[in-house]
Amino acid sequence: MFFFEETKVSDRKTVFSGIQPTGDIHIGNYLGALRNWVKLQDGFDAIYCVVDLHAITVPYDPVALHRSRLDTAKLLLAVGVDPGRSLLYFQSQVPQHAELSWMLSTITSLGALNRMTQFKEKANKAGENLGLFSYPVLMAADILVHKAHAVPVGDDQTQHLELARDLAERFNSRFGDEFPVPEQITPDVGARIMSLKDPTSKMSKSDDDVNTRVLLLDEPDTIRRRFKGAVTDSETEIRYDPEKKPGVSNLLDILSLFTGRSVDALAQDNRSTQYGHFKATVAEAVVEGLSPIRTAFKALDDEEVSRIMVKGALDARMRAEGEMASVRKKLGFDARLGSEG
Ligand code: AQP
């Protein structure tokens, strides 16, 4: 378990995380990961990335990707990622990610990649390709290129993070100590927010049915409609039981995260509330909680955000280049151009 406590700037540990610009960001992404990103800025050297190289592993439209990269960056700023305290950039603008990914791929077993459940799910939906298969290796490189100690993610990323840990250990034992073995930071509540239409699957950007998710930029009436249509069960009691009552339990998780009250207290207070009223209560809490994010997003200027991202990429390149010098040396490459002789 990773403890995040206030530390002196000089001995701060590094956190890294990324988000794909593959569609609109939903409350699952926010509650499972982005809220922690914002919190961790205070005690850590925080590095956050729009992982656009990952986004091209499924069929996509380059024009739409260009827009959604920028919108994803804007949304990260709107939720509270602060470029004054965090390094924020587009993955494709820092070539060391791809370089380290290639190096790590040479110590990755095909068996490990074959076991990745997300590859199987995505390949079934979108078709397979080598990039999708080796996605977890690039994710490991994203983390290790900054020598990150911890990674705030939702629990759907646990299997990928295991591979990153394994590759760090494997590299260290084969070539000498280089990488910290990164810890996962996952919230106790909200690590997996479920689909509103099928509460046994996670809420996902790429689900074909938009009614399954609530987006951070949804209008209040859309949010109310989404919760009104949320699938619950045929009982009448509000009770926290993710196994037997996944729909109601998911709504309790969401309400807890948006109100700051415990799931137990909310379940107790709402024990005999009618499902319809309860869904309306959750919707209002979410409308209120997302309102400052919508306002902040609208106030951001595209050009200003592009400038922030360019500055972030330049800083991230410098930092990654510094880390890569010793990685290259360990692998037998000389970093100095023209020195091969
Ligand atoms: N339902 C979720 N509950 C909690 N956390 C979640 N995350 C994703 N879905 C949930 C976390 O959000 C971060 C960013 O996710 P990502 O963009 O890297 O891709 P993903 O995990 O594949 O997210 P999606 O929304 O399901 O996108 P698609 O449909 O494109 O695959 C990660 O930390 C993730 O754990």
Tens digits of pLDDT across the chain (341 residues): 444 444 444 579 999 999 999 879 999 999 999 999 999 999 999 999 999 999 999 999 999 999 999 999 999 999 999 999 999 999 999 999 999 999 999 999 999 999 999 999 999 988 999 999 999 999 999 999 999 999 999 999 999 999 999 999 999 999 999 999 999 999 999 999 999 999 999 999 989 999 999 999 999 999 999 999 999 999 999 999 999 999 999 999 999 999 999 999 999 999 989 999 999 999 999 999 999 999 999 999 999 999 999 999 999 999 999 999 999 999 999 766 665 54
Domain residue ranges in the chain: 9-185+302-337, 210-298
Query: Could you give the 3-state DSSP secondary structure of residue 184?
Result: strand
- pTM, two decimal places: 0.93
Is residue 259 within 8 A of residue 299, CB to CB? The reply is: no
Is 3.40.50.620 the CATH number for 9-185+302-337?
yes
What are the tokens at 216? 């951070």
Distance 5 CA to ligand 1 centre (A): 26
Tokens of 198: 């099928």
Helices and strands in the chain, H and E counts? 15, 5
Residue with tokens 């910290």, as numbered in its chain: 180
Residues with CB under 6 A from ligand 1: 19-20, 22-23, 28-29, 32-33, 153-154, 156-157, 191-193, 202-206
Same fold, 9-185+302-337 and 210-298: no
Query: Spelled out in words, what is the top-level CATH class assigned to the domain 210-298?
Result: mainly alpha
Of the residues 90, 160, 205, 249, which should be mutated to test ligand 1's pocket, given the most ligand atoms within 8 Å of the CB?
A: 205
The C-alpha atoms of residue 50 and residue 91 are separated, in whole angstroms, by: 6
Which residue numbers are catalytic? 122, 202, 205
Nearest CA to ligand 1 atom 18: 19
Pocket test for ligand 1, best of 34, 65, 157, 160 (most atoms within 8 A of CB): 157
